[in-house]
Amino acid sequence: MKRANPGKTVLMLLEGKKGLVLNVMNKNSIGWAIADAANLHGATVGIGAQNERMLDGVLKLVEGRERFDPFTIDFSDDAQFDLLRDQVAEKYGKIDFIVHSVGFAPKTALNGRFIDTTLEDFQIAMNISAYSLCRLCNALEPLMNEDGSVITLSYVGSTRALKNYNVMGVCKAALESTVRYLAVDLGDRGIRVNTLSPGPVNTVSGRGINGLTDMIKSVQDRAPLKRPYGQEEVAGSAVYLLSDLSKGVSGQIIFIDSGYTITGM
């Protein structure tokens, strides 16, 4: 998200709001782009890392910035969800938004044939990449204000079989379905739950997929807009979904890929 020019009036879409972005890995991660954009739009952001070691890098990103607070959560450890809830309640009381930015599969489950996926790898990937959203919402629902917003990150591999994506495609399909059911469960409080689905982006997670560079080039060559997209474009859509401008939107998938997903062969 580009900073405003001095003297230019900027509409602060998230002024006065508080929320969480979980998790952030480094300056190139989509989670950081969203946290940065939300903060620049006036939000107080609880920024998460998997553990204390990774939190050191995250703290460097927010050094000298206001309205950022650190949290840690390892999505593979069930006990940490309730611990996070207690920490957030103590720090903020109530929150207005949650950004679920996590996905993981063992390397062995991303190579070769999907049919060879082991039960252990399948369960690890599904637990961290999909179930964690349900568990996170369950833990934090008591802290969510009315008309709040929850967003997560998916990929078109949820509906298309893509080479080297394998079990993550199945996890993303489960994640998108989870969003729809959570949208129903939380809708009576006005809480919206939506999915952002970027095209392939050069991040640490993305680089876990073999052939990422070729994938990015292929998408950009075929996309109607014929121009690059990336973390900044994803963050812009995230700010919209976190803001009151999206009060009528829930259970939806927004694609940020310069229009690639509408194209045929």
Q: Is 69 exposed, middle or buried (0-12, 13-18, 19+ CB in 10 A)?
A: middle
Catalytic residue among 155, 181, 229, 240: 155
165 is catalytic: yes
Catalytic residue among 92, 131, 165, 240: 165
Q: Is 8 exposed, middle or buried (0-12, 13-18, 19+ CB in 10 A)?
A: exposed
The answer to whether 31 and 61 are in contact (CB under 8 A) is: no
CA distance 241 to 236: 9
CA distance 203 to 215: 13
The answer to whether 251 and 179 are in contact (CB under 8 A) is: yes
CA distance 103 to 89: 25
**Given the structure tokens 């379905």, which residue do they identify?**
177
155 is catalytic: yes
Q: What is the largest CA-CA distance in the chain?
A: 59
Instruction: Assign residue 98 a region (left: φ > 0; alpha: ψ between -120 and 50; beta: otherwise).
Output: beta
DSSP bridge partners of 150: 98, 193
Angle between helices 167-186 and 132-140 (to 10 degrees): 30
Residue numbers annotated as active site = 155, 165
